[in-house]
């Protein structure tokens, strides 16, 4: 049973947010049709939901659709970069990404890091406006190299321009490094903006854990604490991580073939990259493939849930997500929140073991989910408490799923695990 708590990392990264500028660069300059990318995502969703698909839900799901499109910018830019000359490629950093969320929906941004600073040497307020000559030099080289790859006829319209980019500063844990192929790794690592700190080792973040101080490395990550919601005191959310258990539930209990879905994703990349596709890169891309599959678990669980009786659906929370990094690769975990408590309760040690209310909530979830399994596979596929990890996260670290209208009515707004905190302020 793992609990996670924040510790400040030593470095702050400066750079430029270029999400909208990058889309224009790819759409106008390189003919990428992002409407087609979005349409493909919708068609895939229609196939998944079948007769249960509701066109009216597209408005509610629009933020998630947009997140799918923005994530693809990295892939298309990497393809453009791969076709460039060697000296041009060295100046073309594949954009990192960072996540935010608005009204429970994921919001993804593209970011080119250009510098790094030791936190504490400069005040955080100063870093927000800091843009030294090295940052400008790096981004100007990036812009010049990228624009040199544009056809002359569209260069003025499609090109990246400094005034269209936003200078920003981020803590190290909020940025997700792209997954590099072998050739990209040779050209871009160690990261250019970190070379001045090549002798500075990243801090090892310790976490309070039900397993003691020797928690396995894969169970460690950093929690980013933002301002508390609704002006309330800082909250932590308790609940259960169930990523692997959910996959087993869906594969064995509902005949979802994730190996087939993985094969389809690989074939789509083969088609996208053409002759530039390299089978040897699949090993490097494996973490990204795995992360993409995890997002599918939630989609499939929603399709199971929507077919359940109304009384069962109310107990079936759609899993939230949280993001981690493992050697620069994005990791996605699924999480069922079961309670919310003041940060002081966590600090006091009161949440070292699951509170009774949390145990009751997860038991209700498991019982109702398992009731939807065929009797023949219920024991093998069913959720079991020992297959899940009880965890504690800051309230802003876990990402609420975007709900359809029906889901929002059934699962409440505000979220069920926050009702005790938000309901009093509603009068």
Give the 3-state secondary structure of residue 348. coil
190 cis-preceded (ω within 30 degrees of 0): yes
Beta-bridge partner residues of 322: 333
| Domain spans of the chain, in order of start | 8-204, 225-427
* Alpha-carbon gap, residue 91 to 325, rounded angstroms: 24
The pLDDT of residue 232 is 42
Percent of the chain with pLDDT over 90: 43
Determine contact, residues 105/88, Cβ cutoff 8 Å: no
If one counts every other C-beta atom within 10 angstroms of the C-beta of residue 102, the result is: 8
At residue 196, the pLDDT reads: 65
C-alpha of 409 from chain center = 25
Residue scoring higher pLDDT (323 or 129): 323
Q: pLDDT for 330-367, tens place per residue?
A: 578 999 999 999 888 888 889 999 999 999 999 999 99
Instruction: State the virtual CA torsion across 207, 208, 214, 220 in degrees, nearest 10.
Output: -30
DSSP-assigned letters across all residues of 132-186: -HHHHHHHHHHHHHHHTTS-GGGHHHH---GGGSEEEEEEGGGEEPPPPPHHHHH
Which of 177-191, 198-212, 275-289 is predicted most confidently?
177-191
Pull the structure tokens for residue 122. 């400069």
Query: What is the pLDDT, as a whole number, of residue 282?
Result: 80
CA distance 336 to 241: 7
For residues 89 and 78, give the distance between their C-alpha atoms in angstroms, rounded to a whole number: 10
- pLDDT-derived band at 48, boundaries 50, 70, 90: low
pLDDT tens-place string over residues 1-11: 444 433 334 57
Parallel, antiparallel or unpaired: strands 235-241 and 175-176: unpaired
DSSP string, 79-145: HHHHTS-HHHHTT-PPPEEEEEEETTEEEEEEEEEEEEEEBTTB-HHHHTT---HHHHHHHHHHHHH
**What is the pLDDT confidence band of residue 406, given thresholds at 50, 70 and 90?**
confident
**pLDDT tens digit sequence for 136-194:** 999 999 999 999 999 999 999 999 999 999 999 887 667 888 878 888 888 888 887 77
Higher pLDDT, 252 or 332: 252
Average pLDDT, the chain: 79
Give which of 346, 315, 323 is closest to 237, Cα–Cα: 346
Select the more confidently predicted residue: 410 or 23: 23
Nearest to 90 by CA among 183, 195, 196: 183
CA-CA distance, 106 to 8, in Å (whole number)?
A: 24
Tell me the pLDDT band of 425, cut-offs 50, 70 and 90.
very low
Instruction: Note whether 391 and 2 are within 8 A (CB).
Output: yes
pLDDT of residue 329: 54
pLDDT at residue 81 tops 60:
yes
What span, in angstroms and rounded, lies between the C-alpha atoms of 340 and 417? Answer: 6
207 pLDDT band (50/70/90 cuts)? very low
* pLDDT of residue 202 exceeding 60: no
């Amino acid at each position: 049973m793992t609990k996670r708590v924040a510790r400040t990392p030593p470095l702050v990264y400066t750079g430029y947010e270029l999400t909208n500028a990058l889309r224009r660069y790819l759409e106008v300059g390189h003919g990428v049709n992002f409407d087609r990318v979005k349409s493909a995502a919708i068609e895939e969703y229609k196939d998944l939901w079948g007769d249960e698909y509701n066109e009216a839900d597209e408005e509610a799901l629009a933020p998630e659709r947009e997140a799918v499109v923005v994530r693809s910018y990295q892939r298309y830019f990497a393809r453009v970069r791969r076709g460039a000359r060697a000296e041009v490629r060295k100046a073309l950093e594949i954009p990192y990404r960072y996540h935010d969320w608005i009204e429970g929906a994921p919001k993804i941004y593209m970011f080119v890091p250009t510098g790094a600073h030791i936190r504490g040497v400069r005040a955080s307020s100063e870093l927000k406006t800091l843009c030294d000559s090295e940052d400008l030099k790096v981004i100007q080289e990036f812009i010049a190299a990228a624009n040199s790859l544009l056809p002359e006829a569209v260069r003025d319209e499609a090109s990246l321009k400094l005034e269209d980019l936003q200078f920003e500063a981020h803590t190290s844990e909020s940025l997700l490094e792209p997954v590099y192929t072998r050739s990209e790794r040779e050209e871009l690592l160690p990261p250019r903006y970190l070379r001045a700190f090549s002798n500075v080792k990243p801090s090892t973040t310790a976490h309070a854990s039900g397993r003691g101080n020797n928690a396995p490395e894969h169970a460690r990550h950093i929690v980013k604490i933002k301002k508390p919601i609704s002006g309330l005191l800082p909250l932590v959310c308790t609940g259960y991580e169930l990523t692997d258990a959910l996959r087993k539930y869906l594969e064995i209990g509902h005949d979802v073939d994730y190996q087939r879905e993985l094969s389809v994703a690989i074939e789509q990349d083969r088609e996208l990259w053409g002759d530039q596709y390299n089978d040897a890169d699949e090993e490097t891309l494996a973490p990204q493939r795995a992360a993409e599959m995890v997002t599918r678990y939630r989609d499939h669980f929603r399709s199971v849930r929507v077919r359940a009786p109304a009384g069962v659906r109310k107990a079936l929370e759609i899993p939230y997500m949280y993001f981690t990094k493992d050697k620069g690769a994005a990791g996605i975990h699924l999480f069922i929140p079961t309670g919310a408590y003041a940060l002081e309760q966590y600090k006091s040690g009161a949440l070292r073991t699951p509170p009774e209310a949390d145990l009751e909530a997860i038991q209700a979830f498991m019982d109702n989910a398992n009731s939807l399994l065929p009797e023949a596979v219920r024991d093998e596929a069913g959720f079991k408490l020992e297959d899940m990890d009880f965890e504690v996260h800051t309230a802003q670290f876990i990402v609420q799923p975007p709900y359809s209208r029906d889901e929002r009515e059934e699962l409440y707004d505000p979220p069920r695990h926050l009702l005790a905190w938000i309901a009093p302020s509603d009068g």
